Each structure stands twice: as structure tokens, then as C-alpha cells.
Structure 1
Amino acid sequence: MDAAAFLRAAEALPLATDPREVLGPAGALVLAPHPDDESIGCGGLIAAASAAGLPVRVVVVSDGTGSHPGLPPDAIRPVRERETLAATAALGLPPEAVHFLRLPDRGVPAAGPEFAAAVEAILGLASPAPSAVLCTWRHDPHCDHAASFAIAEVVTRRLLGARLLAYPVWGWAFAHPIPGFPLPAPPLLPGPPRGRRFAIAPFLDAKRRAIAAHVSQQADRMGDAGAFQLPPEAIALALREVELLLEETP
């Protein structure tokens, strides 16, 4: 099946309401390719896990400075990190649970020495070991999302007993087109999808506040006419009452 059919089939996966059922007893290590992916893709699950007392750590892989190509990276990096700390606080996480690798936006490595160094850096932040590693879907149409997933695969293999779960961000556009958002040809995938949907209605307000905390992604406040802006349709998809966690084999 193609990616659109795969995701539509995934929208019928079993629905969970307990974060322990999805993450396991030792909580989660969440990899976000850019500042804001954690809130958009699995912010409701993060909030639910935090409320349930499960440990959650978030690692932001890239510095996110590509969102403002007209500004020096040193000008936007601290802004995006402050926004991420505000967003994760809205989800119930303390600042010490959030880490920034600061790899270059659109330059997250998919192989080579920098890839190996990223794996080791993340493993150094994964103690005590989580029972689940979360990252963007391998078929999300962004190079940093795919590279971060490749990193997550190796990290999960090194964390014996951990499960790998993928959350779509831009991949949702295959099944729910976003006006003006360009997509490659949909990949062909083996089915059926595996995983869980997670009900986030009790935590939807927290997720809404987390996404809103990424102000630089929703309004040009820094004088960069070429700045990226989250499409309203993408935000609406993120604020549905369920999140999708696809079971992956690392």
C-alpha cells in the first residue's frame, strides 16, 4: 500500500488511554528533529506520561535555525531553544529533561562519523534506560526527520529491551493533504501498520499551549520575510484528539 493508504489504515489501530500501555514502565526518550516536532507529533502523550509519573526526556536533534534563512543561526538558535523549554514546560517537563544536540538544520547526518557521534551523545542522555524511544516517522518527507529516525534505530538497538515508536509530523500530508505543502511521490509500504493510537483529549489544552509556545514558527516576529510558518492545516491535524505511535522494528 502507498503511504496515504498506510496512514489511513493506521487511523483504525487500537486506541490506548494509559501512557504505560504505549511507553512501558520506564518511560520514553523522545527525539525531535527540530524544536517543535516534540509538541506537534506527540505532545499529548508526553503530557499524559508526565502526569502519570513516567519519566520522559526530550532530545532536540537539530538547532532549527533553517526556519529563518535570512537571519544568522546565532540569532535564532536561542529563540527556538527558549520556545522549546516553554513548550515542554506546558507538557509538564522540567528544563533538565530537555537537551539540545544543536546539529545543523537540514544537516542532520544519516551516516558517517557525525552520525556515530550523535548516537553516542544521545545514549549518554539515556540513563536510566527508557522502555520506549520515540522519533519522527521514517517516511516523513524531510531529510532531518528521516536522518533522526535512522539515529533512533541505532539508539534503540543499543538500549536492550527498548521499543521504537514513530510519530508522523509532515507524513500526515500523504493522507491529509496540506495546501501548498510539496510532497514527493508516496512511498510504497508493507502493511498492515502496527502500533497504537493514543487518546489525548484530557491533555489537548496542554498540547495546544505547547504548540503555541513555538511562536517563531507561527508569526514573523524577527523581521525575516522568508521565515517558515506552520500551515494552519498542519496545526489542525496535530490538534486532533488522538496521536499515532507506529511500532517500528529497529
Structure 2
Amino acid sequence: MMAADYMRAAEALPLVSLDALLPEDGEVLVLAPHPDDEALGCGGLLAALAAAGRPAGVLILSDGAGSHPGSRRVPAPALRSMRAQEAARAVAALGLPAERLRLAGYPDGDVPASGPRLREAVSTILDLRPRTILSPLGLDPHKDHEASWAIAQDAAQCSGARLLAYPVWSWRYLYPEMGPGMPPLPPREWPGPPRGARLDITAFRDTKLRAVGEHRSQTSDLIDDDPDGFRLSEAALAVLQRPFEVYLEPVA
């Protein structure tokens, strides 16, 4: 199935409640390739889980220190610390206790997709004993997102946990304006049709917006001395902050 058709069908999946999406109790673990993916992809879900008193945690895989490589004012070590603090504030805004956030600390752009380091990441997840693992969809056109999906698949297979995917940059196949200045995505296929649901986050959308806003290095001109530094576009935020989030079952 072509990627754009897959995402168009995903956008039309049934709208459901939290209890319909996750009917069973048990630890829910969100894997985020970078600090901000947890809020962009799953902020509404995490806020809903926190409000319901259900256990949830976040494991951020990379340090995010590669988003502004040309900044002299905020070099990589300072940016690493800044992004960790932003993630802590975002998770707190969603209602999670501080200890529910964990940072794996892999270098930005080098989340392991295979080999011993992948097994190390999987071991970290298994120690947390999640009942459900959420990861960016492997269709996301970013190597750290693809690596996160590989880690999540391996961890789910080893643990028997349920695996759900959430799209972040996969939406670019449907909304190319999300990435101004980025090269066009080549045609790509993905197994389909999509299975899953859209989670209604209307009641928690403002909370999600606050959490996303805590990632100021990614959403504002906080770091203003790197003209090539990354910043989420208004078009990307418009897509990623709608009153629903999409969660997809793996398709072999």
C-alpha cells in the first residue's frame, strides 16, 4: 500500500475512547526517539492515562543534542541538558511523576537499529515490564524513528507486550508542507490497510499543547544563532496537535 494512501486511511480510522483503545490495565511505555516525540505523538494519551490514575512511563532514546549543530551559544553539551530539562517539564505538564521519565542518552542520530546496542535498549525496556509499548511508526522517514520501531518490535516479541505505533513524521506523506525546506519524500509502500484507531483527546488537547510548548528549543527561536537549526513548522504543529491521536497495530 502506498504510504500516502496508508496515512489517508489511518486518518479515517474510528474515533475511540481511552478505555476502548487500552481496555487492560498495566504499564504503558512510550518510546520517544527524541525529546518532544512523547508530547507530539502521545501527549493526549499520556495525559488521559495520568488523569485516570493508570501507570504510564516515557523512555526517550536519544539526547536530542543534534538539532542545532551550528549554534555557538548553545553547543551540544548545553543543548543535551536543555532538552532533558524540557522533556522533564513536558512530562510533568502531562501529569506524570518525574520518576516516570527515563533518558537512554543515545546520541541524536545514532539510536541503535541492530546489534548489541539494540539488545541493550531492549533490555532496558524489559526491565520496566510494560504491558503495552508505543513507538513511532516505522514508516516515519527518520532513522532514529525507524530504530525506535526496531527496538519496540524486538522488545514486544521478547516480552509478549502489546505493540502500538504512533505516526509523527509519517504524516509528511500526506502533508508535505509539514517539512518546509526538507527534500520531497520518495514514493514508499507500507503493509496495509492500517488497523487501529484514533484516540479522542479533545478533553486533553490543551494539556498536550502545554507539554509541546515546553520543548521551546524545538518550537521557538530560543536558539537563534543557527539559521539551519531545527524548528517545528506551524504546518507540522497543526497536524500533530489535532484533537485526536492515531495508534496503529503492526501489520505483518
Deviation at 1:83, TM superposition (A): 0.4
Q: Which amino acid aligns with 1:110?
A: A
- Residue pair 2:173, 2:185 contacting (<8 A) in 1 also: no
- What are the residue-to-residue correspondences of 1:179-198 with 2, within 5 Å? 179-198=180-199
Q: Which amino acid aligns with 2:135?
A: C
CA distance in 1, matches of 2:115, 2:55: 31
Partner residue, 2:171? 172
- Residue pair 1:19, 1:48 contacting (<8 A) in 2 also: no
Deviates more, 1:112-121 or 1:194-203: 112-121
Deviation at 1:23, TM superposition (A): 6.2
Partner residue, 1:244? 246
- Residue pair 1:47, 1:91 contacting (<8 A) in 2 also: yes
For 2:110, what is the secondary structure of its paired residue? coil
Partner residue, 1:224? 225
- What are the residue-to-residue correspondences of 1:19-168 with 2, within 5 Å? 19=19, 21-22=21-22, 24-71=24-71, 72-124=75-127, 126=128, 129-160=129-160, 162-168=161-167
CA deviations on 1:136-178 (whole Å, 9 max, x unpaired) are 0101000000001100111111222x11111111110101222
Partner residue, 1:2? 2
Distance 1:23 1:92, change over 3 A: farther
Deviation at 1:229, TM superposition (A): 0.6
Q: Which amino acid aligns with 2:201?
A: I
Q: Which amino acid aligns with 1:231?
A: S
Where does structure 2 lack aligned partners over 5 or more consecutive residues?
none
Deviation at 1:184, TM superposition (A): 2.8
CA distance in 1, matches of 2:112, 2:225: 27
Distance 1:159 1:20, change over 3 A: farther
Q: Which amino acid aligns with 2:195?
A: R
- What are the residue-to-residue correspondences of 1:198-213 with 2, within 5 Å? 198-213=199-214
Deviates more, 1:183-192 or 1:54-63: 183-192
Deviates more, 1:14-23 or 1:112-121: 14-23
Task: Provide TM-score, normalisation by structure 1.
Answer: 0.93
- Residue pair 1:119, 1:154 contacting (<8 A) in 2 also: yes
Where does structure 1 lack aligned partners over 5 or more consecutive residues?
none
Distance 1:23 1:158, change over 3 A: farther
Distance 1:183 1:28, change over 3 A: farther
How many residues are matched? 246
- Residue pair 1:8, 1:175 contacting (<8 A) in 2 also: yes
Distance 1:105 1:213, change over 3 A: same
For 2:176, what is the secondary structure of its paired residue? coil
State the percentage of identical aligned residues.
48
